[in-house]
Amino acid sequence: MKPPWRLSRDMDGKSAKRPATLGRLAPPFLVLALLIGGWQLAASTGAIADALSLEPFLVPSPAEIATSLWEDRVLLAENAWVTLKVVLLGFFCAVAVGFVFAAALHLSEALRRAFYPLLVASQTIPIVVIAPILMIWFGFGIGPKLAIVALICFFPITVNTIDGLRSVDPEAVKMMRGLDASRSQIFCRLEAPTALPYFFSGAKVAVAVAVIAAVFGEWASSDSGAAAGLGDLIFEDLARLETARIFAATAVLSAIAIALFGLIAIAERRVVRWR
């Protein structure tokens, strides 16, 4: 006989409550198509440029952006790869540091009282100020860029994880103590798994802002190398008024952020199976 918990998985995806894939994807694509269509119309007729009293070449149409995406694909891909490396490395640094920091602050009341205000303070520093200073101190390598991304990502991950660790059911702690669990066993077998969904929420927020942080880092470093990242490319193109390529680079950045967000959401569903 088929055990019932197998049955539940077999039914996944065939429920009447879930609309067909086409039905779910249609609304966002329709909205996107309408927006792009409207923009194309307004830009190609010169309506936006007229309204803003600008030269028409400063207002690229979606078609021109698409052309730029295609023609500059090698340049964009090279720079996207540089940015992606900064984003990923910085993000993983933030995950490691954030989790350890959250665990330490959770396990020690004294540490929590001492460091929590500092944690909040770290987010009040304007990134546009700290980024150039880090460049001055640490030079123009990948290090300062990683530091900026990690600094930005660290906060949502740490705060969410601390909240998660604290959300443990006190009855479950009593249960574990009654079963002779040591402090570290309570942490590993009860508190850490409880905090996982919170950790993933923090990670999703972090990865979205990581891309913005990477752009700031690249802007501050204003590297003169061949491929210095999409942020660097955007700021160079700003000076050259290459507006179509600015939009193209921005689209690539968005795509990176959305893809990373999606990857984390998939990882979350795989890991947090009990929800």
Partner 1 sequence: MLRAGCLFDFPDLFSQVRGVRQDTTVIRTEAKEFGAASGSPAGAPRAGTAVEIRGLRHSYGELTTLAGVDLEVPHAGVLGLVGPSGCGKSTLLELVCGLREPSAGVLEVYGARDATSRLASCAFMPQRDVLLPWLSALDNAALAPRNRGARRRQARTEAAALFERFGLAGFERALPKELSGGMRQRVAFLRTLLSRKPVLALDEPFASLDAITRAEMQAWLASALDADPHTVVLVTHDVEEALYLADRVVVLSARPARVVDELAAPAPRAAGRDAAVTDPQFVALRERAMAALREGTR
Which residues within the stretch 151-170 sit at the binding site for partner 1 (CB under 8 A)? 169
For partner 1, which residue of 24, 73, 177, 183 counts as binding (CB under 8 A)? 177
Binding mask 10-29 toward partner 1 (x if CB under 8 A, else -) reads: -xxx-x-xx-----------
Residues 6+ apart with CB under 8 A from 228: 79, 82, 218, 221, 222
Distances (CA, A) of 211 to 9, 10, 190, 245: 36, 38, 33, 18
Which amino acid, residue 235? F
For partner 1, which residue of 84, 130, 190, 195 counts as binding (CB under 8 A)? 190
175 near partner 1 (CB under 8 A): yes
179 near partner 1 (CB under 8 A): yes
Which residues within the stretch 195-234 sit at the binding site for partner 1 (CB under 8 A)? none
110 near partner 1 (CB under 8 A): no
Q: In the bound complex, what is the minimum distance in angstroms from residue 170's beta carbon to partner 1?
A: 9
117 near partner 1 (CB under 8 A): no
123 near partner 1 (CB under 8 A): no
For partner 1, which residue of 7, 22, 110, 239 counts as binding (CB under 8 A)? 7
274 near partner 1 (CB under 8 A): yes
d(CA 50, CA 52): 5
Q: What are phi and psi of 30, to 5 degrees?
A: -65, -45
d(CA 266, CA 119): 29
| Residues 253, 245 contacting (CB under 8 angstroms) | no
55 near partner 1 (CB under 8 A): no
Which amino acid, residue 263? L
From 95-103, 133-141, 185-193, 213-221, span contacting partner 1 (CB under 8 A): 185-193
Crossing angle (nearest 10°) for helices 192-221 and 142-166? 160
Which amino acid, residue 168? V
180 near partner 1 (CB under 8 A): yes
For partner 1, which residue of 165, 176, 206, 207 counts as binding (CB under 8 A)? 176
Residues 6+ apart with CB under 8 A from 210: 87, 90, 91, 94, 149, 152, 153, 257, 260
Q: What are phi and psi of 234, to 5 degrees?
A: -60, -45
* Site for partner 1, rule CB under 8 A: 3-5, 7-9, 11-13, 15, 17-18, 169, 171-172, 174-182, 185, 189-190, 193, 269-270, 272-275
